[in-house]
Structure 1
Amino acid sequence: MLRQSPWSVIPTPGFLRLSGIAALGFAFLIVMGNVIVVPAGLPRTGAHVDSVDAFFRTEGHLVGLASMLTPAAWVLATLFGAGAVRALWRSERARHEAWSLLGFTGLILQNSAFAGVIAIRLALASTAADGTEGSAGLWALHDALFTLNGTFLALALVGLSVGGRHAGIIRPWHHVLGLLSAALLFTSATLTPLLIGRTSPLGLLGLAGWLLWVIWVVAYGIVLMRLDGGTRSHEAARQAHGNAR
């Protein structure tokens, strides 16, 4: 199969740069959200309810601060996904594929799932003083949603990695990175029943997959920004050629 030039399938200049910046902003915000709560002692998946209750009772203000970053993160993730679809769609239509739509769907679903995670954290912060009885059920639900969210991240990674590679806009290492991250996150999601209610080294699978996911998002954002710049140069050259004629 002949691979089309990336510049031949790129739409209106400007939007891709915006969506690329959105990807970088999304990665920054989700890292910052973790920088705020993880060093403060955010319990790991499967942590005992006593430690969960103690954390949310003493560090509830940090949970609230971190949660303030998430609405913007979800908006930026959606903008990034829309830009990726726009960049890939014309090429995919020519091949009768829709990998980008699969990836965009994964991004939307992960936004929804993580909204539930953040809502539960806020609920725990506001009810921690009432005792551990309610916290136990909320934390189990939090762990389940948090881990199962790896399924949706995997969809986003596979869809946009395969679509980007077929269109020729991402490099082989970026494609492999996306698939590796997807495999780790999907495996972690599959093992969710083994992770709820107990600490396990299997939780490191999801952590490794998440770290690779952040690197993948940053790299994809840079790709979209470069594509936008390449499109501008291509359009300027074509207009100059037309004027010369």
Structure 2
Amino acid sequence: MLRQSPEPVIPTTGFSRLSGIAALGFAFLIVMGNVIVVPAGLPRTGADIDAVDAFFSTEGDLVRVASVLTPAAWVLATLFGAGAVRALWRSERACGEAWSLLGFAGLILQNAAFAGVIAIRLALASTAADGTDGSAGLWALHDALFTLNGTFLALALVGLSVGGRHAGIIRPWHHVLGLASAALLFTSATLTPLVIDRTGPLGLLGLAGWLLWVVWVAAYGIVLMRLDADARSREAARQVPGDAR
């Protein structure tokens, strides 16, 4: 009888745990980025260009400080997405589905879109003192890109919510939360021409969707961390002497 090879040792920090921590870190950084600039008076979508020019002329340094957080946030978002795909892929292959890939694509696209948003904010911080002629065009582009980004967030939410529910790793409330956030963000993106035309209640659709998105990401991070802990517990149980038959 051939002797079986010993079971592989599970690392102290598995990839699921790492990607779960990344999700929590991503949620924390995007909240902190807004905590820095929003109380200082960051203009809302559709704001008057004079208010935009005044903010970026006086708070340019604050905008630069907030932008320091964003590269790390994009790295963490990508790591979270990769961990989610890893957790869902075996189940999806068995069922012939690819919801996790849809979600991962949404995360990558939102990274790219928001890189454009941050780049425009940095450009405004550098050029606002030159007058409103250049600022008007930049801010209009910022508002359009910022609002349309809801499309990519919706893709991430739908893909990973449906995939997670089908795989049985997220609970019904988490699934519903993701779909509700996706609906709000996609509706806001669809109404972009109206949202960016002027400040008003339509902008609250995107805000509500974004707040739900942050909660959803953090909850998903906890799910991935628990998956790693459960896997290590099962592996430890299998290695207890006397259990082998």
User: Which TM-score tier does this pair reach, normalised by the shorter chain?
Assistant: over 0.9
How much does 1:242 deviate? 7.6
1:25 and 2:29 aligned = no
Question: What are structure 2's unaligned runs of at least 5 residues?
Answer: 1-9
How much does 1:238 deviate? 1.7
Deviations 1:188-221 (A, max 9, x none): 0000010123112100000000000000000000
| TM-score (norm: length of structure 2) | 0.94
Per the alignment, residue 95 of structure 1 pairs with: 95
How much does 1:241 deviate? 6.2
How much does 1:243 deviate? 6.3
Report matched runs for 1:121-136 at 5 Å.
Answer: 121-136=121-136
Computing the radius of gyration over CA atoms, which structure comes out larger, 1 or 2?
A: 2
Per the alignment, residue 231 of structure 1 pairs with: 231
How much does 1:169 deviate? 0.2
Report if the CA contact (8 A) 1:53-1:131 is conserved: yes
Deviations 1:49-96 (A, max 9, x none): 000000000000010000000000000000000000000000000000
| Residue aligned with 2:149, SS | helix
Per the alignment, residue 143 of structure 1 pairs with: 143
Report matched runs for 1:45-64 at 5 Å.
Answer: 45-64=45-64
One-letter amino acid of the structure 2 residue matched with residue 79 of structure 1: L
1:113 and 2:113 aligned = yes
Deviations 1:123-174 (A, max 9, x none): 0000011000000000000000000000000000000000000000000000
CA distance in 1, matches of 2:133, 2:197: 14
How much does 1:239 deviate? 2.4
Structure richer in helix, relative to its length: 1
CA distance in 1, matches of 2:17, 2:235: 15
Count matched residues.
Answer: 235
CA distance in 2, matches of 1:239, 1:83: 26
**Given the superposition, is the C-alpha separation of residues 204 and 92 from structure 1 closer, same or farther in structure 2, using an over 3 Å criterion?**
same
CA distance in 1, matches of 2:171, 2:18: 21
One-letter amino acid of the structure 1 residue matched with residue 125 of structure 2: A
**Given the superposition, is the C-alpha separation of residues 240 and 172 from structure 1 closer, same or farther in structure 2, using an over 3 Å criterion?**
same
Per the alignment, residue 160 of structure 1 pairs with: 160
One-letter amino acid of the structure 2 residue matched with residue 105 of structure 1: A
Using the TM superposition, name which of 204-213 and 235-244 deviates more: 235-244
CA distance in 2, matches of 1:241, 1:156: 44
One-letter amino acid of the structure 2 residue matched with residue 212 of structure 1: L
Identity of aligned pairs, percent?
Answer: 87
CA distance in 1, matches of 2:238, 2:139: 58
One-letter amino acid of the structure 1 residue matched with residue 202 of structure 2: L
CA distance in 1, matches of 2:159, 2:244: 42
CA distance in 2, matches of 1:137, 1:37: 21
- Which ranges of 4 or more aligned residues in structure 1 deviate by more than 3 Å? 241-245
CA distance in 2, matches of 1:107, 1:208: 19
CA distance in 1, matches of 2:242, 2:32: 48
The structure, 1 or 2, with the larger RCO (C-alpha pairs under 8 Å, 6+ apart) is: 1
| Residue aligned with 1:240, SS | coil
**Given the superposition, is the C-alpha separation of residues 195 and 17 from structure 1 closer, same or farther in structure 2, using an over 3 Å criterion?**
same
CA distance in 1, matches of 2:242, 2:118: 54
**Given the superposition, is the C-alpha separation of residues 242 and 157 from structure 1 closer, same or farther in structure 2, using an over 3 Å criterion?**
farther
One-letter amino acid of the structure 1 residue matched with residue 46 of structure 2: G
Report if the CA contact (8 A) 1:48-1:197 is conserved: no
CA distance in 2, matches of 1:192, 1:215: 24
How much does 1:240 deviate? 2.4
CA distance in 1, matches of 2:186, 2:157: 11
How much does 1:244 deviate? 3.8
How much does 1:235 deviate? 1.1
